[in-house]
Structure 1
Amino acid sequence: MSDASTLPSPEGLPVLGHGMAFSRNPVEAMERWAAHGDIVRLQFVGEPMYMVTGPEHIERILVDEQEAFTIGPRQRTTFQGVEDDAMTTATGDRWKRLRRAAHPAFTRDRIHQYGDRMAAVTARFVDEWADGEAVDLHDEMRRLTVQILGETLLDADLRGREDVVMDAADALVARTNFRRPGLLLPDWVPTPTDYRFRRAVERLDAFVDDLLAERRASAPEREDVCSVLLDAHQRGDLSMDEVRENVVAFLLAGHESPAGALTRVWYLLDDHPDAAAAVRREAERVVDGGRPTAADADDLERTRHAVQEALRLYPPTTGVNRQATEPVTVGGHEFDAGAQFMIPQWVPHRDERYWDDPETFDPSRWTRDADRPEYAYFPFSGGPRRCIGADFARQELTLALATMAGRVELDVTASGPLTFVPSVQLRPEPDITATVRR
């Protein structure tokens, strides 16, 4: 057993430590640091941080001894001012209460019920594209996923109202950009980015309040997340602030991550025509009629594997943060209470110890048995705090991709190499354009 101070520490800068390299290019920095070991000691402006990339250590933190850890302060700071009363930032008994209240909307049976609508919304959306039209792929995928959320989780038609959600997500990404000059300033120092963020959040809060007021006034029997949360409020389990901010959290994360995944899977399929052809042939073979249904999801194997592979190469977020609530031992090293851990999916997802030819997009790898640790792949985190919408997102991505592949071909071009905004979300930096071919 050894002290955490004995862990390897990559070379950093005086005072700034490893923060500068991380802000310039997080994924490149994390790959370089991981070469020093499965647990490395980093320094961010005087604050120690331990990066964990070994799957067995990740599982220990997220699953086996999860009660000895909570979300890190960086996660709470990230969503401060927008999701203060959501499960995203809650801890302890409060988090358990919020999670229990939302769970009925995300059971396996309930998610299956959303499937037909997911495909129907996608078909309607894609049918509005003109043959030969060039679209901003990421922007269009974001509009699509907002509409899917509206009609499944909120039972509301959000067509023409997507911008209020997208603007708030843009403001959040801008505020959490690791390169932002004002990021190190005290919270009380106003910046244009902070002002834009507050205005966008105010508009989104008002938008969600209006949706909730409409729902409470109509009060029909429904089974979406909005109704589940309002029922919990009626029972006294949730405050209205908690209802609103959890809906806000679902709208922000629930459109951004799937939209990014759809953008990247189309980008990858365009570069791998054999895989794209396999997805199209499967859509033609499995789908009986104009679009897939929830019943088709299990048979869309190649489509599902393309999605899994895209999530392996390009996970939705920069990583997962945890903080020890008591002294813990991980990987034979002792850590004090308060120790902070950064757990990036990017590194184990591309580790050649667990993946053959890890940098290559190869959906067929998911058809082969592989002896790899479970936490060599965890795009939606893991353990009790695994993303509550993970199964929803997987079904959505599979059905949306199959629906699109059965109706259009997309010729994808990017304005540069696929790099990412250094922020909480791995959002593509270059412009990605898709030309529609029917």
Structure 2
Amino acid sequence: MTTPGSGTGAVEVPPTPDGIPFFGNGLAFSRNPVEAMEDWASLGDVVRLQMPGQSMYMVTHPALIKRILADDHDQFTISAAQRETFRGVEDHAVTTTTGDRWERLRKALRPAFTHDALDRYGDRMASTTAAFVDEWNDGERIDLYREMRLLTVNILADTLLDTNVRGNENVVMNAADALVNRANFRRPGQLLPDWVPTLAERRFERTVRALDEFVDEILTQRQRSESNDDVCSVLLTAHEEGKLTLAEVRHNVVALLLAGHDSPSVALTYIWYLLADQPDVCASLREEYDAVVNGEQPSIESYDELERTQNVVVEALRMYPPTLGVSRQTAEPVTLGGYKLPRGAQLLLPQRVVHRDERFWDNPETFDPSRWQNGGDRPEYAYFPFSGGPRNCIGTHFARQELTLALATMIGRIELDISVDGPLRFTPSLQLRPETDMEAIVTRR
């Protein structure tokens, strides 16, 4: 494939949307990040954005994204903004490190995410979901997003950490909220220097300290455990063998707790939101559940047969990817899409914009799980909900399996009547979180 805009006639600056003094394009982004990015993408495959204090380049063509994340990944690295956002919480984690250290951490984590390990997690994903959902009363009104967060924290702890966190979920959720708020474009003090002690920064430090203490308690308990097939035991074994420091163990557990519950909870929330207007799809999922599971609990053995459920998950991730975008920066001067970018240029690769680009998708605004039945002829990186290339999310297969088994378990046990408080709005931060309140009335099957 020819890279769009490639050739000898490279110019200096890509098109830039109109902005306002001092704020540039930041104000439009803070008001409605999704709408703003969709508007800006109409200017071209590479667009230069003026944010307060910095420039950023939004890249929305699959060929260019493939080059950044995979083909020429050595020319690009994680962004300074990403490292700054996670400063103080994931400094020693695989999410923020580079080079030999990143390779060492990734290698240490890999045994916890093999196919055999995923098979071991499958039944526990379903049983944790069943136990959680069975606590909902018939006719009960629930806060959909909060309940999905509580559920995914428990799934993550039960499977990857082999730990019961019931009653302590807020320790994880509060830290995740503080992290998202730290990167929120709308928060007061966002433009102040880092050394200014804002309320958001103080909250971040307080909640992260509580999470660190909580993780230390988990690690102390797990050091006495004989279990050896989850993330905690894998990391602790690497520490005992001198391959990881204790700080690296702690920060990688913290990273898994934060991102590992946040993205799946956002995804499950949007799945139910989409299903609310699709009674035929819901009926199809229940038919599949009854045929495949036959009154039992979904398991890893039934996972491959839950094809319609998997298609719903994949399609929901297309329409509402959990994160706002993948960030990178150039490690050297590059020519991208016909434009010369300097070393250190900040890049934003927004999944939702690419996932809804009519150049690569038929009827992209339509929720259509059937589009995945026969694959489809589209560029590889027209779909990348969990990033891609060597630095793709290590938990990609875990998350898809979790979403499928959790959804199937819920479909078999309950129905949810969803009500949404107005048009869907999003937080202008790391996660594509819903700002719109969503409630659901539970009906037991």
TM-score (norm 2): 0.96
Match of 1:156 in 2: 163
1: CA distance, partners of 2:133 / 2:225: 32
CA deviation vs aligned residue, 1:44-90 (integer Å, no higher than 9, x gap): 23422111000000000000000111001111111111111111111
* Displacement after TM superposition at 1:302 (Å): 0.7
1: CA distance, partners of 2:370 / 2:244: 45
1:255 aligns with 2:261: yes
1:227 aligns with 2:233: yes
Match of 1:65 in 2: 72
Find 2:357's aligned residue among 330, 351, 357. 351
Number of paired residues? 437
* Displacement after TM superposition at 1:332 (Å): 2.9
**Which residues of 2 match residues 309-320 of structure 1 at below 5 A?**
309-320=315-326
Find 2:307's aligned residue among 301, 307, 316. 301
Q: Secondary structure at the match of 1:295?
A: coil
* Displacement after TM superposition at 1:352 (Å): 0.7
1:381 aligns with 2:380: no
1:414 aligns with 2:420: yes
Quick one: structure 1 residues 54 and 282, their matched pair in 2 at CA, closer, same or farther if it must change by over 3 Å? same
- The root-mean-square deviation of aligned C-alpha atoms, in Å, is 1.2
Match of 1:270 in 2: 276
In structure 2, give the amino acid aligned to 1:264: Y
1:23 aligns with 2:17: no
1: CA distance, partners of 2:297 / 2:305: 14
Given that residues 60 and 330 in structure 1 are in contact (C-alpha distance below 8 angstroms), is that contact kept between their aligned partners in structure 2? no
2: CA distance, partners of 1:44 / 1:431: 29
* Displacement after TM superposition at 1:350 (Å): 0.4
Find 2:371's aligned residue among 342, 360, 365. 365
In structure 1, give the amino acid aligned to 2:421: S
In structure 1, give the amino acid aligned to 2:92: D
Match of 2:100 in 1: 93
Given that residues 52 and 191 in structure 2 are in contact (C-alpha distance below 8 angstroms), is that contact kept between their aligned partners in structure 1? no
Greater CA drift, 206-215 or 326-335: 326-335
* Displacement after TM superposition at 1:345 (Å): 0.3
2: CA distance, partners of 1:255 / 1:274: 29
1:8 aligns with 2:15: yes
Match of 2:124 in 1: 117
CA deviation vs aligned residue, 1:392-432 (integer Å, no higher than 9, x gap): 00000000000000011110111121111111111111111
2: CA distance, partners of 1:111 / 1:215: 20
Match of 1:280 in 2: 286
CA deviation vs aligned residue, 1:359-399 (integer Å, no higher than 9, x gap): 11111111144210011110000001101111000000000
**Which residues of 2 match residues 194-233 of structure 1 at below 5 A?**
194-216=201-223, 218-233=224-239
2: CA distance, partners of 1:231 / 1:69: 32
2: CA distance, partners of 1:90 / 1:3: 32
Counting aligned pairs with the same residue, the percent is 62
Find 1:431's aligned residue among 411, 432, 437. 437
CA deviation vs aligned residue, 1:84-129 (integer Å, no higher than 9, x gap): 1111111111111111111110112211210000000001111111
Q: Secondary structure at the match of 2:70?
A: helix
* Displacement after TM superposition at 1:241 (Å): 0.6
In structure 1, give the amino acid aligned to 2:439: T
* Displacement after TM superposition at 1:3 (Å): 4.1
In structure 2, give the amino acid aligned to 1:208: V
In structure 2, give the amino acid aligned to 1:383: G
* Displacement after TM superposition at 1:288 (Å): 3.5
Find 1:47's aligned residue among 43, 54, 77. 54
TM-score (norm 1): 0.98
2: CA distance, partners of 1:4 / 1:109: 50
* Displacement after TM superposition at 1:221 (Å): 3.6
